[in-house]
A and B are shown apart, each in its own frame.
Chain A
Amino acid sequence: KKSVLTHDEL
Chain B
Amino acid sequence: MNIFWLTGDLSHLAAIVILLLKIWKTRSCAGISGKGQLLFALVFTTRYLDLLTSFISLYNTSMKLIYIACSYATVYLIYMKFKATYDGNHDTFRVEFLVVPVGGLSFLINHDFSPLEILCTFSIYLESVAILPQLFMISKTGEAETITTHYLFFLGLYRALYLVNSIWRFYFEGCFDLIAVVAGVVQTILYCDFFYLYITKVLKGKKLSLPA
Contacts and interface: CB of A to CB of B under 8 A. Distances in A.
Interface residues of B, number: 27
Interface string B16-33: 000000000000000000
A8 B124 CA distance: 14
Interface string A1-10: 1111111111
A9 B162 contact: yes
Interface stretch (B73-81, B97-105, B172-180, B203-211): B172-180
Interface string B37-70: 0000000000100100010110010011001000
B60 A6 contact: no
A6 B56 contact: no
B14 to A, nearest CB: 13
Contact of B166 (A1, A3, A5, A10): A5
B9 interface: yes
B180 A6 contact: yes
Contact of B180 (A1, A2, A9): A9
Interface in B92-140: 111-112, 117, 120-121, 124
A4 B56 CA distance: 11
A6 B120 contact: yes
A10 B111 contact: no
Given A10-B9, A10-B12, A3 B63 contact: no
Looking at A3, A6, A7, A10, the one whose CB has the most chain B CB atoms below 10 A away is: A10
Contact of B60 (A2, A4, A8): A8
Given A1-B111, A3-B180, A4-B177, A10 B124 contact: no
A6 B47 contact: yes
Given A3-B120, A9-B162, 15 more contacts: A1-B111, A2-B111, A3-B121, A3-B179, A4-B175, A4-B177, A6-B120, A6-B177, A6-B179, A7-B54, A7-B56, A8-B60, A10-B60, A10-B63, A10-B64
